[in-house]
Amino acid sequence: MTTVPKPLITLSLSPPINSLTAETPSPGRLTQAMQSLDIQGFSYEERHGLLPTLTSGFADCGGWVLDRKTLSPSTMEFRLEIQLRAVLDLYASIVSSGLELTRSGHLGLTDLCTCRKNRSTAADLGQIVAIRLEISFLEDLTLHSLLLAACSAA
């Protein structure tokens, strides 16, 4: 009968090459990417009626308006930043100003509100969110105004 030699066991005092530590990163080293959200909305109101209400709503909830530009005669864009803790106030001020949001705008703001609800620390709630709000000003066309326009053209 043949005997198989036992393998030699060697002990190494150096750590394995692919070892991972269970160290949790400190808050100073943990960097989170800034969340961003693109929202589209529309309004049948005149610009001079909606814009002051909207900008004061941004300021009341602690938002910073970084940029405000006119894209076309009927479209404007706001770029703002806000802390996550104030996103519910921002949502309420946008809706109360009379601005109609698209479905994706409502869903995006609702997701941020849910994210805010589930954050527990003050550092998490202080996270900055960048928002781009595009507003289209629509004319209120009724059947009566279309008939009047057709009669005057004829």
- Domain-located, residue 7: no
Greater confidence (40 vs 10) lies with 40
Rounded Cα–Cα distance for residues 150 and 45 (Å):
24
- Domain-located, residue 146: no
Query: Residue range 88-94: average pLDDT?
Result: 93
Rounded Cα–Cα distance for residues 30 and 109 (Å):
25
- Domain-located, residue 19: no
pLDDT tens figures, 54-88:
999 999 999 999 999 999 989 999 999 999 889 99
Task: Provide the pLDDT for residue 126.
Answer: 80
Measured from the Cβ of residue 135, the count of other Cβ atoms closer than 10 Å reads 23
pLDDT tens figures, 106-148:
999 999 888 877 777 777 778 889 999 999 998 866 656 666 7
Query: What is the residue range of 52's domain?
Result: 35-140
Which is nearest to 80 in space by CA: 105, 101, 59?
A: 59
Give first-to-last CA distance, the chain, whole Å: 115
What's the token pair of residue 8? 């030699």
- Domain-located, residue 136: yes
